[in-house]
Amino acid sequence: MKIIKCLSVFAICLGFFNLNAQDETEVTDEVQPGSGVQTLQSYSKFDFIPGAKVIFYDDFAETAVGDFPPAWNTNASGEVVTTNLYPGNWFKMNGSGCILIDEGIKLPENFTVEYDVIPFPEEEGNTSFEFGFYMYSAEDPKNMDEGGAVPGLKGGIKMSFGYRSTYSAYNEEGYTISGDKESPAMEAGKKYRLSFWVQKTRLRVYLDQVKVFDLPKVFKPGFQINMMRFELWESGNPMVTNFRIAAGLPDTRNKLLTEGKLVTYGIYFDVNKDVVKPESYGTLKDIAAVLNEVPDVKVRIVGHTDADGDDAKNMDLSKRRAASVKAELAKHFGVNADRLETDGLGETKPVAPNDTPVNKALNRRVEFVKL
C-alpha cells in the first residue's frame, strides 16, 4: 500500500495521518477558497442550492480505516483514512487510473453534486498537481474503459482541479467546448468544497464560494448522466468525503406556505457540531426570501439527527442546531427572530431506516413548519 509523502514545503502535512485526532482548524476572516473555516457571511455571493432529495451519499463512516469503500470501484487504488486536522473519515485516492461510483447512478435532468476535498501532489515539489472529475453517459456503467480517454459513448464533461480548473465537454461526435481558469487555484493540504449544479443543459461549478464555471448549453436537451468518476494522474491524489448527490429543485415557497412544511437537506453541520457551515448560505437565503415576503407567517424550526450515538445527546444536538439556524436567519438575512420558534427531535422521527449512509443522510435534516 502506497504511503503518501509529507512535503517539507507543506507544514500542514506534519502529523496528518492520526487515526483518532479530530482537531478543529483555526478560524480565519479570509474569503479565499481553502482558507480555513470560513464564516457564513464569506459565502454571501454563493447562490448554490442543493437538490431537494439525497439519492447518493458517502462520508465513508461505515468503512474501516485502511479499506476501500464498497460503493466505489477502481483500476487504481485507495483507502479510507482519518486526519488530525479535519474530522471524519476521508477516502484517499492513490495511483494512476480512475475511481468511480460502482455500477453508476441514473440521474434526472436537475441534480447537484458536492464533496469536500483535500488535494495532494504525487511527488514532492510538484506545484502543477491536479485531479480529474468526470460526469458522463455510459452504455455500460460497469465498463471502466468504455470510450477510453473520452469516457462513455454518449457524451459528457471532463473537469480537472488543482493548480488550475479546466473543462472539456463532448458528445458522440467529439469535443464541443472547453476552457480553463488559473484562479482560484488549490493548495496542497488545504480543505475545499466542490459543488456542481446541473439544470437540464446548464452546469455551474463552484470551488468553495467562488463560481468557477457557468456553462448554459453544455449538455444536449434530454441528456442523462449515469456515471461519475475521479481521474487520477501521476501529478496529484485527492482525499474526499461527504460525497453527496441530490435530485430535483427545492420548491421552497410552495412547500412552506401552501403545504405548511419544508424539509431541507441543504443546511450543513460538522459531525456532532451545531455551527451552521458556510456552504448552507444559498439554502438559507432561499428560505429567508420566502419568509421575508410574508412577514406575518411564523414557523417552527425543527432539527433531526440520525440514530448514531447516544439518544439524549442527539436530542440535545438537534435542539442546538435548530437554534443555530434561527440565529443565522435573524443575523444574516433579516428574518424577525420573534417569528421563529425552535425545537429538536433528535433521532425520534426518522424518515428512513438508519441502515445505510444514504438513509442516515435522509434522517439528518432541518424542517420548517408553518404555525
Query: What ranges in 78-183 are assigned the alpha helix state H?
Result: none
Residues 252 and 262: beta-carbon distance below 8 Å:
yes
Per the structure block, which three cell numbers stand in for 146? 468504455
Return the closest-CA partner of residue 172 out of 158, 157, 155, 156: 155
pLDDT of 14 over the 60 cut: no
267 burial (CB, 10 Å; 0-12 / 13-18 / 19+) is buried
Q: What is the pLDDT of residue 32?
A: 63
pLDDT at 126: 73
Q: Taking residues 345-368, report their average pLDDT.
A: 96
**What DSSP line would sit under 228-291, residue for residue?**
EEEEEBTTEEEEEEEEEEEES---HHIIIIISSEEEES-----TT--SPPGGGHHHHHHHHHHH
Residue 69, pLDDT above cutoff 70: yes
CB burial of residue 239 (10 Å; 0-12, 13-18, 19+): buried
pLDDT digits (tens, 9 = 90+) for 311-325: 999 999 999 999 999
Residue range 94-113, pLDDT digits in tens: 999 999 999 889 899 999 99
pLDDT tops 70 at residue 12: no
pLDDT at 29 exceeding the cut of 60? no
DSSP letter at 118? Answer: E
How many residues make up the chain in this entry? 371
Mean pLDDT of the 140-149 span: 91
Residue 36: per-residue pLDDT: 59
Confidence of residue 41 (pLDDT cuts 50, 70, 90): confident
Per-residue model confidence (pLDDT) at position 3: 37
Confidence of residue 122 (pLDDT cuts 50, 70, 90): confident
Low-confidence winner among 207-211, 270-274, 356-360 (lowest mean pLDDT)? 270-274
Mean pLDDT of 17-36: 44
Assess whether pLDDT exceeds 80 at residue 286: yes
DSSP conformation class of 11: G
Q: Is the pLDDT of residue 85 over 90?
A: no
- Average model confidence (pLDDT) for the chain? 89
Q: What is the mean pLDDT of residues 166-185?
A: 95
